[in-house]
């Protein structure tokens, strides 16, 4: 709905959401999506006033802006306890890296290490997931 | 002595215990402390002790545990949430000194927040445990991060009725709530509920933000479409076991936190005492220790805020000694770490009104980023989270308590007309959006019913699948904020459409992601960055402005003196009182004189009991006659004091016995030789005096005149908060008495006409 005739978000300049642009049918869902640059700007401000972990989170968020919803939810699912083998988590980290999400990839690798140490990985022959 | 003898000789049980057993609070469960099961508020010898050992920049021990034994929580905190640049200094500071700095108004909040980045979980738990209740209030006042307080409302109903949800969301906003949280009894209804409160929340005043608490992935999906603007039900737990039982790890939750921010959504996490105990996974740690781990994790993950203070487990904390103090200490830990604090008070912690208010009062005095993480703005039975600690039927009391203490509890009385207007507009708006987006039919009759409904009990159940079908249509059509805005615009709801677009524009700036961000009613972002709490003692920090004070003062039940005067005037004519000349002293030994107050039958015509002044005077005169006395009536213009009036009357009476009567019904039986404040009988509780009491007063007066010894009248039994009920009226009536008084005028003889 409300997105008829829209162009590729990477080439189409963003349109400011106003009553005029709404009435003219010019708005698309990507026009109300936050940008990576905005998130990085917020991260810089936060880091300047001592909110370092909060800033790191915004950096990870900036990386995820262009990662599709389904992929985001799939990686969240993979990070739940006993869901993934070490190899599967490494695969997720790799996919994130390929999308430019290096901080997110590092978080996933760190999880893999912690899960291995605490027995939170899925055993290779166990069924995956609880669904 | 045998056992049976002992039994028979046992004194009877004190009957008041039976009454105490019937009190609502007797239903509350309380438990003995059991530290081994986590049933203890603050750290004991079983808890981990604060420690931090760093070698070559690597943490090798934290809180008494070696790195090799770190669980997932320790690992995450060490990896992301400990600032080793300040850790040495922070950990070396004795906890007593740290606790004193928390309450010292000369130590700035920022100085404490800097150290907090180097405090381990056990250290922070140890520090807050040192504060007593009053100190917690002062520390909270100083440490909360946003200067302007705010509050959140629960808006739900058992039917998931969209028109009622929208009307109730608009009502909550009219009362002053800036966050609206809904949830669903039926999971598949979630998109329809989110849509309804999104629309209702923008009616009247724009910018309140909304959430729909459901399963994490589904909730994120609603937020991605713009149907919600924030989330807070991302749960953290204080032990690895409980965390994993909750099907998450610190890493999965950290990733989710990033995912929310990546879609421009505000998010806070949820934790709180009792959750681990309820899951049987407390690992012999106190509630404060476990919660401190949660708060450290929240900081480490980069969440902007925490909802804690017991939450679902609040009553578990409430079952052990110091439990309520621990709940406030949890909130303080969040503030100390520089995070937004959404301070619980969202679970009904007691059947006792006294206890539930006792739990919440310190938060109200101190202020908070969100005083309630869900004030139940609807009625208890419609709250699908379960009843909150304050609910829709408490709103007037809440506003009065806010008025009593002059704190900023965020809420206001919007006025009946305003409430009607926003309820009607919100319900119509959601019906229009349903129609335009093809979600289903909400009839004008249903809209009208929802506008008037006290709760969903006043509504007939709708078509059984109407809400499910609408929710499915929202999902299938990928309906989002822009579709809703367009439908509102096309249906003539332009201000609401613009409000949604303004929300979208603000989301694009990322400002709503800042710690403790809210939108005020002018759509300005207030956060720890734009509106930092700068409390440094009296005269600093958030203060109640003159305009806000007027709003706080204007509760619904403030007595209007003009209305009282009109009500009095309407009761006039019950007695005719005609002055006939100066009053003189009588000589008949049977004579009783009745003295009337200045406004009696002049500007005041109805006593507090509801009797007219004519009925009061008539009963007294009838009683005097019945008792064999002779009555005479005078006005005492010089005094409003019932004692002086009675004494003046008695000194005019041939018998030396007089009665004083105020228009509000207070009466006294006096004798000429007594002091003004002495008396034979005082009928002070005017509201409960009836005709029989005034008759008896007259008879007793006559008996005294005849030298008999009557039985004094006893005030009747009453459980009423008599002064609370009547003093506002008493004060107003006494002001009218005073206005009629003439200090220099002597008593005046009156001719009485009881037929009016």
Tell me how far apart the alpha carbons of residues B47 and B290 are, in angstroms, rounded to a whole number.
9
Beta carbons of B486 and A56 less than 8 Å apart: no
Using a CB-CB cut-off of 8 Å, the residues of chain A touching B300 are 53
Q: How confident is the model at residue B718 (pLDDT cuts 50, 70, 90)?
A: confident
Contact B645, B660 (CB under 8 A): yes
Residue B247: list chain A partners with CB under 8 A: 80-81, 130
- Would the pLDDT of B84 be above 90? yes
- Set of chain A residues whose Cβ sits within 8 Å of the Cβ of B117: 50, 52
Q: What is the DSSP string of A15-45?
A: ----HHHHHTT---GGGGSPPHHHHHHHHHH
A61:B113 CB<8 A: no
pLDDT tens, residue by residue, B394-443: 999 999 999 999 999 999 999 999 999 999 999 999 999 999 999 999 99
- Is residue A5 very low, low, confident or very high in pLDDT (cuts 50, 70, 90)? very low
More confident residue, B63 or B185: B63
Alpha-carbon Rg for chain B, nearest whole angstrom, is 33
- pLDDT, position A128: 53
User: Which positions in chain A touch B508 (Cβ < 8 Å)?
Assistant: 17, 32-35, 38
Contact flag B515-A33 (C-beta cutoff 8 Å): no
Interior angle at CA B517, CA B515 and CA B523, nearest 5: 160
Q: Is the pLDDT of residue B181 over 90?
A: yes
Probe site for chain B from A13, A27, A53 (most B CB atoms < 10 A):
A53
The residues of B annotated with a catalytic role in the active site are 152, 154, 181, 232, 307, 346, 373
When scoring B66, B237, B258, B513 by the number of chain A Cβ atoms within 10 A, the one with the most, hence best to mutate, is: B258
What pLDDT is stored for residue A130 in this prediction?
44
Residue B248: list chain A partners with CB under 8 A. 80-81
- Look at residues B483, B264, B192 and name the one whose alpha carbon lies nearest to residue A28: B483
Average pLDDT over chain B reads 96
Q: How confident is the model at residue B8 (pLDDT cuts 50, 70, 90)?
A: low
Provide mean pLDDT across the span B479-501.
Answer: 98
Average pLDDT over residues B631-639: 98
Distance in angstroms (rounded) separating the CA atoms of residues B643 and B660: 7
Summary mean pLDDT of chain A? 90
Q: What pLDDT is attached to residue B651? A: 98
**Min Cα separation B478/chain A (Å):** 7
Which of A14, A76, A92 to mutate to test binding with chain B, by most B CBs within 10 Å of its CB? A76
Say whether pLDDT at A7 is over 60.
no
- Per CB-CB distance under 8 Å, the chain B contacts of A41 are 510
CB-based contact B138:B398 (threshold 8 Å): no
The verdict on a CB contact (< 8 Å) between A1 and B477 is: yes
Tokens, residue A52: 């370092």
B243 pLDDT higher than 70: yes
CB-based contact B65:B74 (threshold 8 Å): yes
- For B27-134, strand residue ranges (E) read 52-55, 58-62, 65-66
B165 Cα to chain A: minimum distance (Å): 24
pLDDT in tens, B272-324: 999 999 999 999 999 999 999 999 999 999 999 999 998 889 999 999 999 99
Shortest Cα distance from A28 to chain B (angstroms)? 8
Residue B68 DSSP code:
G
Phi/psi at B453 (5° precision):
-70, 130
Would you call B94 exposed, middle or buried from its count of C-beta atoms within 10 A (0-12, 13-18, 19+)?
exposed
Region B190-205 average pLDDT: 98
Cβ distance B508 to A81 less than 8 Å, yes or no, reads no
Cβ-contact B274, B308 below 8 angstroms: no
Q: What pLDDT does A131 receive?
A: 44
Does B113 sit within 8 Å of A42, measured CB to CB?
no
Residue of B nearest to A17 (CA): B501
Nearest Cα to Cα of residue B153 among B328, B363, B315, B382: B382
What is the pLDDT, as a whole number, of residue B722? 87
Q: What is the pLDDT of residues B522-560, one digit of tens each?
A: 999 999 999 999 999 999 999 999 999 999 999 999 999
Inspect the interface and report whether the beta carbons of A61 and B221 lie closer than 8 Å: no
A16 with B480: Cβ contact below 8 A: no
* Structure letter (DSSP) for residue B41: S
Residue B723: which residues within 8 A CB-CB, separation 6 or more?
Answer: none
Q: What is the mean pLDDT of residues B636-643?
A: 97
Chain A positions in Cβ-Cβ contact with residue B258 (cut-off 8 Å): 57, 60-61, 63-64, 104, 107
Q: What distance in Å separates the CA atoms of residue B261 and residue B513, rounded to the nearest whole number?
A: 7
For residues B22-31, average pLDDT: 95
pLDDT at position A123, please? Answer: 85
- Name the closest residue on chain B to residue A45, using Cα atoms: B529
Q: In what order do the strands lie in the sheet with B630-635?
A: B576-582, B748-753, B630-635, B591-596, B657-661, B667-671, B681-683
Cα end-to-end span (Å), chain B = 76
pLDDT of residue A1: 45
**B chain contacts of residue A45, beta-carbon cutoff 8 Å:** 529
Return the DSSP state at B200: H
Cβ pairs A/B, distance under 8 A? 185
- Is the sign of the CA dihedral A61, A65, A69, A71 positive or negative? negative
Gap between the Cα atoms of B253 and B458, Å rounded: 41
**Tokens representing B334?**
């969040």
> A3 pLDDT band (50/70/90 cuts)?
very low
Predicted pLDDT of residue B1: 47
B215 CA: distance to closest CA in chain A (Å)? 12
CB count within 10 Å of CB B18 equals 9
For residue B603, what pLDDT is reported? 97
**Chain B nearest CA to A61, separation (Å):** 4
Contact A67 B224 (CB under 8 A): no
SS3 assignment, position B657: strand
pLDDT at B489 over 90: yes
**pLDDT tens for each residue of B654-670:** 999 999 999 999 999 99
Q: Which of B110, B494, B510 sits opposite A38 (nearest CB)?
A: B510
Q: How high is the pLDDT of residue A125?
A: 60
**Cα distance from B500 to chain A (closest Cα, Å)?**
9
Angle at B141 between CA B136 and CA B142, to 5 degrees: 100
Least reliable range by pLDDT among A99-108, B577-586, B684-693: B684-693
Judged by CB atoms closer than 8 Å, whether chains meet at A53 and B301 is answered as yes
pLDDT of A126 reads 56
Paired tokens of B106: 């000369």
**Whether B653 contacts B633, CB under 8 Å:** no
> CA nearest B403: which of B302, B226, B544?
B544
**Inter-chain CB proximity B255 and A79 less than 8 Å:** yes
Whose CA is closest to B157, among B188, B131, B134, B189? B189
- Span B598-610, mean pLDDT? 98
Q: What angle do CA B195, B198, B202 make, to 5 degrees?
A: 145
How far is B432 from chain A, CA to nearest CA, in Å?
A: 17
> pLDDT per residue over B68-78, tens digit each?
999 999 999 99
Element (H, E) at B682: strand B681-683
The residue of A45, A71, A79 whose CB has the most chain B CBs within 10 angstroms, and thus the best one to mutate to test that interface, is A79
Inter-residue contact B180 to B575 (CB < 8 Å): no
Collapsing DSSP states into helix, strand and coil, what is residue A8? Answer: coil
Query: CA B391 from chain center: how many Å?
Result: 8
B676 DSSP assignment: T
Do residue B481 and residue A130 have CB atoms under 8 angstroms apart?
no
DSSP per position, B534-600: ---STT-SS---HHHHHHHH--TT---HHHHHHHHHHTTTS-EEEEEEE------TTEEEEEE-TTB
Distance from the B102 Cα atom to the nearest Cα atom in chain A, whole angstroms: 19
Query: Could you tell me the pLDDT band of residue B5, with boundaries at 50, 70 and 90?
Result: low
Which of A2, A45, A60 lies at the smallest CB-CB distance from B483? A2
Among A22, A35, A61, select the one facing B489 at the smallest CB separation.
A22
Interchain contact, B301 vs A16, CB within 8 Å: no
């Amino acid at each position: 709905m409300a997105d008829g005739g829209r162009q590729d978000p990477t080439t189409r300049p963003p349109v400011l959401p106003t009553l005029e642009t709404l009435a003219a049918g010019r708005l698309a869902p990507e026009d109300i999506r936050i940008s990576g640059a905005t998130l990085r700007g917020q991260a810089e401000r936060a880091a300047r006033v001592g909110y370092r972990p909060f800033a790191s989170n915004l950096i990870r968020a900036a990386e995820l802006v262009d990662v599709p919803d389904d992929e985001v939810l799939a990686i969240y699912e993979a990070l739940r306890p006993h869901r993934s083998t070490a190899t599967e988590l490494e695969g997720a980290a790799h996919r994130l890296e390929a999308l430019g999400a290096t901080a997110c990839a590092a978080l996933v690798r760190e999880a893999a290490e912690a899960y291995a140490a605490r027995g939170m990985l899925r055993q290779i022959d166990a069924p995956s997931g609880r669904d | 002595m045998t056992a049976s003898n002992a039994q028979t000789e046992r004194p009877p049980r004190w009957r008041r215990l039976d009454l105490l057993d019937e009190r609502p609070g007797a239903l509350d469960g309380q438990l003995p402390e059991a530290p081994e099961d986590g049933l203890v508020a603050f750290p004991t010898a079983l808890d981990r002790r604060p420690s931090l050992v760093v070698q070559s920049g690597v943490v090798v021990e934290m809180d008494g545990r070696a790195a090799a034994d770190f669980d997932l929580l320790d690992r995450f905190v060490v990896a992301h949430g400990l600032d080793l640049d300040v850790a040495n200094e922070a950990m070396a500071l004795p906890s007593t000194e740290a606790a004193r700095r928390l309450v010292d108004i000369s130590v700035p909040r920022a100085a404490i927040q800097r150290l907090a980045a180097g405090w381990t979980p056990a250290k922070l738990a140890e520090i807050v445990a040192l504060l007593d209740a009053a100190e917690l209030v002062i520390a909270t006042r100083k440490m909360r991060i946003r200067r302007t307080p705010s509050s959140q409302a629960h808006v739900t109903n058992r039917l998931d009725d969209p028109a009622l949800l929208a009307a109730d969301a608009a009502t909550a906003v009219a009362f002053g709530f800036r966050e609206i949280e809904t949830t669903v009894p039926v999971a598949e209804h979630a998109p329809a509920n989110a849509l309804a409160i999104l629309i209702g929340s923008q009616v009247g005043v724009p910018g309140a933000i909304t959430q729909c608490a459901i399963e994490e992935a589904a909730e994120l999906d609603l937020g991605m479409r713009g149907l919600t603007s924030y989330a807070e039900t991302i749960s953290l737990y204080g032990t690895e076991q409980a965390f994993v039982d909750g099907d998450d790890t610190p890493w999965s939750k950290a990733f989710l936190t990033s995912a929310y921010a990546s879609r421009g959504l505000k998010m806070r996490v949820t934790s709180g005492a009792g959750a681990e105990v309820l899951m049987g996974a407390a690992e012999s740690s106190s509630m404060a220790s476990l919660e401190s781990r949660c708060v450290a994790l929240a900081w480490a993950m980069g969440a902007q805020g925490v909802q804690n203070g017991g939450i679902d487990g609040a009553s578990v904390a409430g079952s052990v000694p110091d439990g309520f103090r621990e709940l406030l200490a949890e909130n303080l830990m969040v503030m100390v770490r520089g995070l937004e604090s959404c301070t619980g008070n969202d679970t009904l912690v007691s059947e006792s009104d006294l206890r539930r208010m006792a739990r919440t009062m310190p938060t109200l005095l101190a202020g908070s980023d969100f005083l309630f993480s869900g004030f139940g703005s609807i009625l208890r039975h419609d709250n699908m989270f379960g009843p909150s600690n304050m609910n829709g039927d408490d709103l007037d009391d809440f506003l009065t308590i806010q008025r009593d203490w002059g704190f900023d509890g965020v809420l206001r009385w919007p006025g009946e007309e305003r409430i009607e207007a926003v309820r009607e507009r919100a319900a119509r708006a959601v019906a229009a959006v349903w129609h335009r987006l093809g979600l289903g039919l909400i009839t004008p009759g249903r809209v009208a019913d929802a506008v008037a409904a006290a709760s969903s009990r006043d509504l007939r159940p709708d078509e059984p699948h109407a809400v499910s079908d609408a929710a499915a249509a929202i999902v299938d059509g990928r309906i989002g904020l822009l579709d809703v805005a367009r439908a509102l615009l096309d249906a003539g709801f332009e201000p609401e459409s613009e409000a949604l677009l303004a929300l979208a524009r603000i989301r694009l700036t990322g400002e709503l992601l800042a710690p403790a961000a809210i939108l005020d009613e002018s759509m300005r972002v207030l956060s720890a960055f734009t509106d930092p709490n700068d409390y440094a003692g009296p005269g600093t920090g958030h203060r109640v402005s003159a305009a806000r004070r007027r709003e706080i003062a204007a509760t619904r039940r403030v007595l209007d003196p003009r209305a009282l005067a009109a009500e009095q005037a309407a009761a006039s004519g019950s007695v005719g009182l005609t002055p006939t000349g100066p009053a003189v002293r009588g000589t008949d030994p049977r004579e009783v004189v009745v003295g009337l107050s200045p406004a009696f039958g002049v500007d005041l015509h109805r006593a507090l009991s509801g009797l007219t002044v004519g009925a009061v005077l008539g009963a007294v005169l009838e009683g005097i006659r019945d008792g064999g006395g002779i009555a005479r009536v005078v006005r005492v213009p010089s005094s409003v004091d019932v004692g002086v009036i009675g004494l003046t009357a008695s000194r005019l009476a041939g018998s030396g016995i007089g009665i004083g009567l105020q228009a509000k019904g207070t009466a006294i039986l006096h004798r000429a030789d007594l002091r003004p404040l002495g008396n034979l009988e005082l009928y002070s509780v005017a509201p409960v005096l009836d005709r029989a009491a005034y008759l008896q007063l007259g008879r007793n007066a006559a008996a005294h005149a005849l030298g008999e010894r009557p039985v004094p009248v006893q005030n009747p039994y009453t459980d009423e908060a008599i002064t609370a009920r009547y003093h506002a009226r008493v004060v107003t009536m006494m002001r009218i008495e005073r206005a009629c008084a003439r200090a220099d005028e002597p008593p005046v003889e009156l001719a009485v006409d009881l037929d009016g």
